[in-house]
Structures are given as C-alpha cells and as structure tokens.
Amino acid sequence: MSKTSALDLASGLGGKIRKEQVKSAVDQYENYHEIYGGEVESRTSNYADLANKYYDLVTSFYEYGWGESFHFGSRWQGETLRESLKRHEHFLALQLGLKKGMKVLDVGCGIGGPLREIARFSSASVTGLNNNAYQISRGKELNFSVGLSETCNFVKVVSVKDLAENSPLPWYLPLDSSQFSLNGFRLTRVGRFITHILVKTLECLHVAPQGSLRVSNFLETAADGLVKGAKEGIFTPIFFVLARKPLDKQPEI
Ligand SMILES: C[S@@+](CC[C@H](N)C(=O)[O-])C[C@H]1O[C@@H](n2cnc3c(N)ncnc32)[C@H](O)[C@@H]1O
C-alpha cells in the first residue's frame, strides 16, 4: 500500500535509521554541507553515507508529497501531477518498445513507482537498481501488495567508485592543453592551434565542408569544460557501479 498519510510520513521518517538516531543522522547529514561548516573532502570520501542518509531521511516525505514515483514529466492543462507522471512512464515504455518477455533494468529506481507502472503497462519484467536499502524494502513491499513480486525485483548496488580517484595519471591529461606531450601532440595547445589552422585552410579550399572549423571549435570548448570539471572535482567519466543479483531467492516482505 502507498504510504501517503501524515502518520505514514511520521512512521517512515528515517528509513532504516533507528528512530532515536534520526536527530543525530540529520545533524551528520547537515554537517556534510558547506553552510554547516562541511568540507568537500569529507563529502567526497563519505559519499555513500551522505547519499544513504539523504534517502533514508527524505523517502517518506517523497511518498507523502509525490507518491510512489519520484520524478518529473511534461504536464498538460487539467492533468494532475500523478497523471502526468504515469503518462511519462507510459511514454518511456512505448519509446523502448517494451513487451511481455522483455527484461529491463531501471537504474536509480527509487521505491519502484515507475518500474511497477511500466511493468503493468507493458507486461515486461523490470529490475530496479538502487543504492538505498530502505527504498528497496519499500519497493519490495509495494511490489508484493500489487502482485508484481514474480516479474519485478530489486538489486542493491554493492559499491560505487570513481576510478579517477586512484588513477596514477589524471584521465583528462590528454585533453589538458596546458600539458605538453609528444605522443599526444595533436591535443596540446600547439597541436590544437595547428589543427585549427589546418581545418580552416581545408575549409577555405573546400576540401573540408563549410562548418568544419566550428565543429573543431566546439570540441575544443567541450574539452576545456571537461578538464575544468575534473579539476574542480565535479565531473568524472569513469564512475564505476558494481551490483550483484541476490545469491538466493529472497523471501518477499
Ligand atoms: C530522484 S530519485 C528517482 C527514483 C526513480 N527513478 C523514480 O523516478 O521514482 C533518484 C534515485 O536514484 C538512486 N540513486 C542515487 N545514486 C545511486 C547510485 N549510485 N546507484 C544506484 N542508485 C542510486 C536513489 O537512491 C534514488 O532512488
């Protein structure tokens, strides 16, 4: 059953955190953030704890305010929020061409609202991947309550890792125009300048099509953005997620 009453909100608050520890979990969660004195290093190294505390603390609010699906969708005049979310889920199922017998993975599935709706709409089997144990337990309860336990299930993320963190050399080195390298010469500042002149010349001579230089320019802008994002620690292209199917069939809740 969906838990959308004020009492459900209160009883679910804290997720897997014991009730008497909710207050200290809120303190710890807030203290990760800059406005409470938290530092980037602590947030980064405690990413899993930060994310888990967040979802343990907020999930019952989400259910209370948003229902079983925690996303957004385009919305028509006269359409309720819930209707618009379901329509979005049907849209996704149609776009994917889902049918009975197909198996789909929903990455970051919440408590499985979209997963259940898509399974009912398309008859496909959907597995939800999530990093939060409380959301998975809610998802299993809800699957069971609507008779979807046989076709839909959940898998918990075992670990997530930014492989960039332990990389002996930064992954963005080849894109960093402030570096010099002979074997990656074309990507250095001088190499890029030569490419720029080359493409410009080829375009002027009509060897390369009109617009080629602009493509080269926006690729350079993108490369600079990637390097900046990496140096500021807000972007990684090698985020690794390890998940494992349950070894034994878990008893449904
Ligand atoms: C905004 S909610 C959306 C949930 C769901 N897609 C829906 O629309 O109802 C984001 C979800 O992603 C999950 N999540 C965040 N980081 C994750 C990670 N690294 N691995 C797996 N799930 C993750 C959260 O636990 C949460 O359930």
Angle at 151 (CA atoms; ends 149, 157), nearest 5 degrees: 80
Residue 187 lies inside a defined structural domain of this protein: yes
What value does the mean pLDDT take over residues 217-221? Answer: 91
**CA pair distance 118, 46, nearest whole angstrom:** 34
The parent domain of residue 24 ranges over: 1-67
pLDDT (0 to 100) of residue 251:
54
| pTM (2 d.p.) | 0.79
State both tokens at 185: 């010469």
Residue nearest to atom 26 of ligand 1 (CA): 110
Is residue 109 lining ligand 1, measured as CB closer than 6 Å? yes
Q: Which of 38-42, 57-61, 181-185 has the lowest mean pLDDT?
A: 181-185
150 plus 87 within the same structural domain: yes
Q: Is the pLDDT of residue 249 over 70?
A: no
126 plus 250 within the same structural domain: yes
148 CA distance to ligand 1 centroid (A)? 20
Is residue 59 lining ligand 1, measured as CB closer than 6 Å? no
Q: Could you tell me the CATH number of the domain that includes residue 117?
A: 3.40.50.150
Residue nearest to atom 13 of ligand 1 (CA): 108
Mean pLDDT for the chain overall: 90
Residue with tokens 């059953």: 1
Which ligand 1 atom sits closest to the C-alpha of 68? 9
**CA pair distance 96, 90, nearest whole angstrom:** 10
107 plus 33 within the same structural domain: no
153 plus 92 within the same structural domain: yes
54 CA distance to ligand 1 centroid (A)? 11
Q: Is the pLDDT of residue 183 over 80?
A: no
**CA pair distance 81, 108, nearest whole angstrom:** 21
61 plus 40 within the same structural domain: yes
Residue 50 lies inside a defined structural domain of this protein: yes
Residue 162 lies inside a defined structural domain of this protein: no
Q: Is the pLDDT of residue 1 over 80?
A: no
Residue 80 lies inside a defined structural domain of this protein: yes
229 CA distance to ligand 1 centroid (A)? 23
What value does the mean pLDDT take over residues 81-86? Answer: 94
pLDDT (0 to 100) of residue 238:
93
| 55: number of Cβ within 10 Å | 21
Which ligand 1 atom sits closest to the C-alpha of 132? 25
Q: Is the pLDDT of residue 225 over 80?
A: yes
**CA pair distance 30, 24, nearest whole angstrom:** 10
Tell me the per-residue pLDDT of 91-104, one tens digit each, with 9 for 90 and over: 999 999 999 999 99
Percent of the chain with pLDDT over 90: 69
pLDDT (0 to 100) of residue 185:
78
Q: Tell which of 48, 67, 86 closes a domain.
A: 67
Half-sphere exposure of 172 (CA within 13 A, CB side): 20
80 plus 202 within the same structural domain: no
56 plus 99 within the same structural domain: no
Ligand 1 site-directed mutation target among 55, 60, 82, 239, most atoms within 8 Å of CB: 55
Residue 82 lies inside a defined structural domain of this protein: yes
137 plus 180 within the same structural domain: no
Ligand 1 site-directed mutation target among 50, 70, 107, 240, most atoms within 8 Å of CB: 70
What value does the mean pLDDT take over residues 208-228? Answer: 92
Which ligand 1 atom sits closest to the C-alpha of 69? 9
pLDDT interval class at 250 (50, 70, 90): low
Q: Is the pLDDT of residue 145 over 90?
A: yes
Is residue 160 lining ligand 1, measured as CB closer than 6 Å? yes
Tell me the per-residue pLDDT of 27-50, one tens digit each, with 9 for 90 and over: 999 999 998 999 988 998 898 899
Tell me the per-residue pLDDT of 121-140, one tens digit each, with 9 for 90 and over: 999 999 999 999 999 999 99
27 plus 144 within the same structural domain: no
Helices (H), the chain: 6-12, 22-31, 40-45, 47-66, 81-96, 113-122, 133-145, 189-204, 212-231
252 plus 151 within the same structural domain: yes
Which DSSP symbol is given to 249? Answer: P
Percent of the chain with pLDDT over 70: 96
Q: What's the total number of domains in the chain?
A: 3
Is residue 143 lining ligand 1, measured as CB closer than 6 Å? no
55 plus 20 within the same structural domain: yes
Residue 100 lies inside a defined structural domain of this protein: yes
26 plus 52 within the same structural domain: yes
**CA pair distance 67, 13, nearest whole angstrom:** 15
Q: Tell which of 67, 88, 104 closes a domain.
A: 67
191 CA distance to ligand 1 centroid (A)? 42
pLDDT (0 to 100) of residue 3:
77
Q: Is the pLDDT of residue 224 over 80?
A: yes
Q: Tell which of 67, 92, 120 closes a domain.
A: 67
Residue 185 lies inside a defined structural domain of this protein: yes
Residue 164 lies inside a defined structural domain of this protein: no
